[in-house]
Chain A
Amino acid sequence: MLLCHERPVHESETSTNSGINEGIRSFSPDESCSPSAVYPRLRKIARSRLRCGRDALLDTTALVHESYIRFAQSGAGSIDWQSFLRYAPRIMRNVTVDSVRRRCAQVHGGGAIHVELENSICAAGEVESEEIVALRRAMEQLERVDSRLAQVVEMRFFEGLPEPEIARALGITERTVRRDWEKARLLLARALRSC
């Protein structure tokens, strides 16, 4: 299910509808990862993701909510908000990619089942640059080698989260975040050379 709004949803509507709010209300406890603390951070990640301007069908609220639904459906039982925050960048990336694919399938007459991302974006009138393709491939390689390094890059580079927040989300020290970032840069540089 994809929450593609037919009309723009204003940010002021954020806490008035949708399943995520029920999840938030039913969540308990620890202030450091309470829904009220996590939700603004999720919206920040979503805004950052949407700044790329690749998806006119999703807004911040829809992206957060759709990501929440996917995360909730993927696990059993109660929502671990800290885990949700940790995986949110990746889930949001998948949601936006799926949204672009869906839009392009519609552009192609609605009958297309599988549309490659590059073709989708081009069909929608947006050209994905050579650099983005190369970086995405490098990120895929990085993820296969060390998924935590890829998470650090997702959160720091793509989402612009500060080191303390990344450390909290991943359950590691800030020093480890800095070290992971350094190692990730080395691996990305090598991967980009081989793209």
Chain B
Amino acid sequence: MALSTDIAANWPALNPLLDEVLELPPEKRTAWLAALPQEQWELRTALRALLADASGFASLPASGSPLLACASQRRHATGS
């Protein structure tokens, strides 16, 4: 799933939903996603994917090369 297609096209709708879900503790996010109304189910898929990616970056520092290391590990782990 490329950022430029599924995320960019829906970003105006995804953005406020992300604001909302990021206010919640991680353990409550799954339930929040499940409670989204039917008309937002397509967005739910994108949100779920974004939040799943975030788990690999949970310890990302504010700055510096660790992001690069993290990105490298992530990409190597996925075989890309």
Tell me if A191 counts as interface (CB < 8 A to partner B): yes
How far apart are the CA atoms of A97 and B2 in the complex, in Å? 26
Q: Contacts A134-B75, A157-B62, A157-B67 known; A190 to B1 CB distance under 8 Å? A: yes
Interface of A, helix, strand, loop or mixed by DSSP: helix
Q: Are B11 and A141 in contact (CB under 8 A)?
A: no
**CB within 8 Å of A: which B1-54 residues:** 1-4, 7-8, 11, 15, 18-19, 22, 49-51, 53-54
Q: Are B4 and A193 in contact (CB under 8 A)?
A: no
Q: Are A187 and B3 in contact (CB under 8 A)?
A: yes
How far apart are the CA atoms of A7 and B17 in the complex, in Å? 53
Q: How many residues of B contact A (CB 8 A)?
A: 31
Which residues of the other chain, B, contact A160 by a CB distance below 8 angstroms? 62-64
Q: How many residues of A contact B (CB 8 A)?
A: 32
How far apart are the CA atoms of A168 and B26 in the complex, in Å? 30
Q: Provide 10 A-B residue pairs closer than 8 Å at the C-beta atoms, listed in order of the A residue.
A: A130-B72, A131-B71, A134-B75, A138-B71, A141-B8, A157-B63, A183-B22, A189-B56, A190-B53, A191-B3
B residues sitting closer than 8 Å to A (CB atoms) are: 1-4, 7-8, 11, 15, 18-19, 22, 49-51, 53-54, 56-57, 60, 62-64, 67-69, 71-72, 74-75, 78, 80
